[in-house]
Amino acid sequence: EVQLVESGGGLVQPGGSLRLSCAASGFAFSNNAMSWVRQAPGKGLEWVSGINSGGDSITYGDSVKGRFTISRDNAKNMLYLQMNSLKPEDTGVYYCAAAQAMALRRHVYEYDYWGQGTQVTVAS
């Protein structure tokens, strides 16, 4: 059974940092492109960042470029998102997602497996 379990969310002040983690199991993690996707209150899904299976191809959504860093550890079956300079508009539920492909995928609909999400709230 495929499982993606996110952790690391919480309440942080504007300008602060958080590091999200996603533990993967039940599939060959090192063969799958991964991404982080978020959903703000009352809004649709927004693709945040993606990484290919080998970790050498990465891209970011315009709203987080320069502030967030995605990474993966294939030996540990883990995906990470380092979030710096957080803004109130970064508030939402953050999901880890896996695609049945090795190459980077840039669209929400291209991801097949999803975690339950972790809440990130940026507020003073």
Whole-number Å distance between alpha carbons of 30 and 122: 32
Whole-number Å distance between alpha carbons of 18 and 98: 21
Q: What percent of the chain has pLDDT over 90?
A: 99
Average pLDDT of the residues in 106-124: 95
Whole-number Å distance between alpha carbons of 100 and 81: 20
The owner of tokens 């079956």 is 77
* pLDDT at 69 (0 to 100): 98
* pLDDT at 79 (0 to 100): 98
Q: What is the pLDDT of residues 66-92, one digit of tens each?
A: 999 999 999 999 999 999 999 999 999
* pLDDT at 58 (0 to 100): 97
Residue pair 64/92 in contact (Cβ under 8 Å)? The answer is no
pLDDT classification of 27: cutoffs 50, 70, 90: very high
Average pLDDT of the residues in 38-42: 96
Q: Give me the chain's average pLDDT, please.
A: 97
For residue 78, give the amino acid letter. M
pLDDT classification of 4: cutoffs 50, 70, 90: very high
